[in-house]
Structure 1
Amino acid sequence: MKSVIYSCIVFLCTLLSLVSCNSSDKPLKFAIVSDLHASAMPDGKERVQAVVDAANKENVDFLIQLGDFIRLDSISRSLDSIWNEYEGKKYHVLGNHDLDAYTKEEFLKGFGIPNRYYSFDKGDFHFIVLDGNNLYDGKEYSHYAKSNYLKAKSDMRAFVDPEQLEWLINDLAATDKKCILFSHQSIDSFMNNGDEVRAVLENANKHAGFKKVVLAFSGHNHSNYTKEINGITYIQINSASYVWVGKPTMTEKRYPQAINEKYRLLRYSITYDKPLYAIVTLAKDRIDIKGTQADFLPPTPQDLGLGDSIDIYPLVSIIADAQIDLD
């Protein structure tokens, strides 16, 4: 009799353990970073290391970067080895500067990325990676490759091509999970056909009868904001490294001459004194985003007489905390 009771107790404990470990009850967590430009920063190694260390410390389920990452050259191998110190799943989004020296095929192969756009499931969520690095001249679409986009007018850049849009429609229709998107260029303000992409997302919500698409992350603009459009939240993830000003920033007061000569983009940038990234926690009823804050290395934007924004994008050295309700 005692052995029967003992067996029942063991069975119930095992059952309770399995229920408590159910993936649908356990919050999902990931680390997100954008625009590291690690190969072009004098402290690129330290910035990548800080992101990887945070991902490991937080025991996240995956790590994702939103583009403008590192190069494929031999100089960048040490940076890639640091990135790979995070042993969990790592995901990549193509950025425009990733294609300054490479074709998409070369970059995808170099980092083992399955496709220029793709999706994956984790727990109760469906994640979608988009590629906005496409040109459209009014007649046909073509890919960014080896800096060709720099020669195109701004209204011919940053498109999600029709093939990808059709895939997105079908991918959204095939899942009943809540969906989160990642892109380099922002769907809400920078993509030249962002309205078409948003229409696809909003139609998916309409047909589903619930808020299927809840959130879209982007980078590219080296800024930070959260906005909502027709029930979908859009969050800009700030650069891990610097803000691009586009004109001289007195960086001779920021770095020694040898550093400025080696890292030429510093001339037109203001660096953050520490790397920016965020930890995102997904529960059934809400999403919590824990950001990071840095200071500008002087001369600061105020020292240079700059305002609070560059174009429409806030000029800040922060990824702010945010919370999105899923009900």
Structure 2
Amino acid sequence: MSRKPSFLIIFSLLILSFAGAPLAGLEIAPLDSEIQPDAVRADDEIFPRGPTVHMVNKTSAMIYWETKTPTNATVNYGNASDNLDSSVSNPTSSKEHSIWIDGLEAGTTVYYEAVSDGTSSEVYYFKTEPEDGTPFKLIVMGDPQPLQSMAPGQSQIFRDFVDMARNEEPHLVIIAGDFVHEVSATDETYNEIAWGNYLNVSDKLGHYTPIYGCIGNHDTRPGETYADWFLDSFHQYGGNSTWFSFDYAGVHFTFLDTEVPETPRRITGEQYDWLVNDLQSTDKEIKYVVAHQPFYPVAHIDSAIDANKTERARLQNLFEEENVTMFLSGHDHVFQRITVNGVVHVTSSGVGPKLYRTPWGGDYNHYVRLNTSPRRIEMETVNKDGDVTETYTLPYEGPIEIAYREIANTSSALPDEAPEFYFSEVPEEKYFSWDGGDNSTTLGTLPDTNGLHTLDVYAKGSNGEWTHKYYEFTTVQGIDTGTTTLPPDGGIDPLVIVGVIGIAAVIILVIVVYRWKTS
């Protein structure tokens, strides 16, 4: 009896199993395949977008919406859904409507509706900025981008987090970039569909809460000034600038652009000069700085702001000198917090379908809740079930924290390499000890001898407490292990790779079948 058919079945199953396996480092979620025939904007015949609320302060706010045909515009508003006793109108016909409402009171709830040519939207509401010193709730999320460009509909994961955030009724929401999978330099219809699908979801939150965003690498094109769709989607301070700042309830917010065409992954030149002036000009005790790419990544190692270590150090020093409280970023699809010399760095990129598995962990869907007042921040990381998975409070009163980057604990590296260690404050004293040897005030690189090596790190904080961390690293001569760095985001789509593998499998299978039949 011939065994060739059995061999073919086994061979086919093996090939299909390889083709269906996700790439290491990415959590592949099911694609949301619902792209409506008119996915450019929502289904509403009169109001394809909005109304949404923007740039809310103590006494005013801007209401934005779009109509499919040119219409006039009116906003009715008041202190209750059945008492919209004030109005502002613009008789000029347009498809895009921006109406400022004034005379509001700090710390109140305002109900409003948009009216175009006599047709009213639903009634929505928002909170005005509270008085300085009043606590407020801020939600930070990042990287909702769809899994691939072939089906740019936003994932159910992002929809669920938008619903969760809306139910929390935050004062502000920040999304740290990468709203779409990519933008096209030539296909405006594609761009309209991709951004339209993002807005269809985000507007459900934007009806009630101002959303602020920073541009991500997927929202523009490398080497090109292509921020138009981002700017059209976010009506925020700064006008046509992708960096800007504002104050809210006694707290200072600064938004930066890490995707400037000539200087990607950098804050330099005109933007750096502006940043220095911005931070030196504010007297607020709490300062949030927001940008897409992190300083101390765990996935895009050496391909985020850390690509230029000198410039990163300059920024870190500036943040320390100007008492920046927290730097908020995306890009690495994980949750991470690292505190360096008093500056807290938080990466929150968990509301999309792609998650990065790294030795540092944090690869779960989430957003970050920041209950903020001028002298205290209570941070909570919230997963997709609504459970709090991480907490952190500022001012921090615990022992000095030790963190590391570049080379992961228990991984292998070359003898001339070394992990990078960071401390939550400048240590009063610090020591490193390889393989139980003498303490040294400098780290040095991995020992030359192949095999497992231990490293003890000791640091003494300003409170007199010592912190001790123990690590293991393996020295391997002559090979580049590549154990801790994932491919840069925005490279070859994993599903494209899977597709190529599948096509190759079919070709091989046809050849094998042909040879079997002709043998």
What interval of TM-score do these two structures reach, taking the shorter chain for normalisation?
Answer: 0.5 to 0.7
Residue 219 of structure 1 pairs with residue 330 of structure 2: yes
Shift of 1:236: 1.5
- What CA distance in whole angstroms lies between the structure 2 residues aligned with 1:167 and 1:108? 21
Question: Which residue is equivalent to 1:116?
Answer: 242
Question: Which residue is equivalent to 1:238?
Answer: 349
Shift of 1:230: 1.6
Question: Which residue is equivalent to 1:82?
Answer: 201
Aligned ranges 1:1-327 → 2 under 5 Å: 23-38=131-146, 40=148, 44-70=154-180, 72-86=191-205, 87=207, 88-100=209-221, 103-113=225-235, 114=239, 115-134=241-260, 142=262, 157-177=264-284, 178-189=286-297, 190-191=304-305, 192=308, 193-204=311-322, 212-241=323-352, 242-244=354-356, 275-293=365-383, 320-325=390-395
Secondary structure of 1:30 counterpart: strand
Q: Quick check: 181-190 or 124-133, which moved more?
A: 181-190
Larger Rg: 2
Q: Quick check: 75-84 or 116-125, which moved more?
A: 75-84
Larger strand share, 1 or 2: 2
Output the amino acid matched with 2:255: V
The answer (yes or no) to whether the contact 1:48–1:79 under 8 Å persists in 2 is: no
The answer (yes or no) to whether the contact 1:45–1:79 under 8 Å persists in 2 is: no
Output the amino acid matched with 2:204: E
Larger helix share, 1 or 2: 1
- What CA distance in whole angstroms lies between the structure 2 residues aligned with 1:130 and 1:32? 15
Shift of 1:170: 0.6
Output the amino acid matched with 1:276: H
The answer (yes or no) to whether the contact 1:187–1:197 under 8 Å persists in 2 is: no
Show CA shifts across 1:259-307 (max 9, x none): xxxxxxxxxxxx96xx421221102432112212369xxxxxxxxxxxx
Structure 2 spans left out of the alignment, 5+ residues: 1-106, 109-128, 184-190, 298-303, 398-519
- What CA distance in whole angstroms lies between the structure 2 residues aligned with 1:33 and 1:326? 23
- What CA distance in whole angstroms lies between the structure 2 residues aligned with 1:79 and 1:284? 33
Secondary structure of 2:138 counterpart: strand
* Identical pairs, percent: 22
Show CA shifts across 1:140-196 (max 9, x none): xx15xxxxxxxxxxxxx4111211110011111111112111111113453122212
Q: Say which structure, 1 or 2, has more relative contact order (CA 8 Å, 6+ apart).
A: 1
Residues 222 and 75 of structure 1, relative CA distance in 2, 3 Å threshold:
closer
Output the amino acid matched with 2:249: G
Secondary structure of 2:245 counterpart: strand
Secondary structure of 2:227 counterpart: helix
- What CA distance in whole angstroms lies between the structure 1 residues aligned with 2:175 and 2:219? 12
Residues 43 and 107 of structure 1, relative CA distance in 2, 3 Å threshold:
closer
Secondary structure of 2:200 counterpart: helix
- What CA distance in whole angstroms lies between the structure 2 residues aligned with 1:188 and 1:112? 27
Question: Which residue is equivalent to 2:5?
Answer: none
Output the amino acid matched with 2:251: F
Secondary structure of 1:292 counterpart: strand
Shift of 1:323: 2.1
The answer (yes or no) to whether the contact 1:35–1:220 under 8 Å persists in 2 is: yes
Question: Which residue is equivalent to 2:66?
Answer: none
- What CA distance in whole angstroms lies between the structure 2 residues aligned with 1:166 and 1:42? 37
- What CA distance in whole angstroms lies between the structure 2 residues aligned with 1:75 and 1:186? 25
The answer (yes or no) to whether the contact 1:225–1:236 under 8 Å persists in 2 is: yes
Runs of 4+ in 1 over 4 A off after TM superposition: none
- What CA distance in whole angstroms lies between the structure 2 residues aligned with 1:326 and 1:287? 10
Output the amino acid matched with 1:324: L
Output the amino acid matched with 1:37: Q
Shift of 1:116: 1.2
- What CA distance in whole angstroms lies between the structure 2 residues aligned with 1:38 and 1:278? 20
The answer (yes or no) to whether the contact 2:161–2:384 under 8 Å persists in 1 is: no
Secondary structure of 1:120 counterpart: strand
Output the amino acid matched with 1:98: D
Shift of 1:321: 2.9
The answer (yes or no) to whether the contact 2:287–2:324 under 8 Å persists in 1 is: yes
Show CA shifts across 1:237-268 (max 9, x none): 1332222469xxxxxxxxxxxxxxxxxxxxxx
Question: Which residue is equivalent to 2:497?
Answer: none
Structure 1 spans left out of the alignment, 5+ residues: 1-16, 136-141, 144-156, 205-211, 247-270, 296-317
Shift of 1:78: 3.5
- What CA distance in whole angstroms lies between the structure 2 residues aligned with 1:23 and 1:129? 22
Secondary structure of 2:366 counterpart: coil
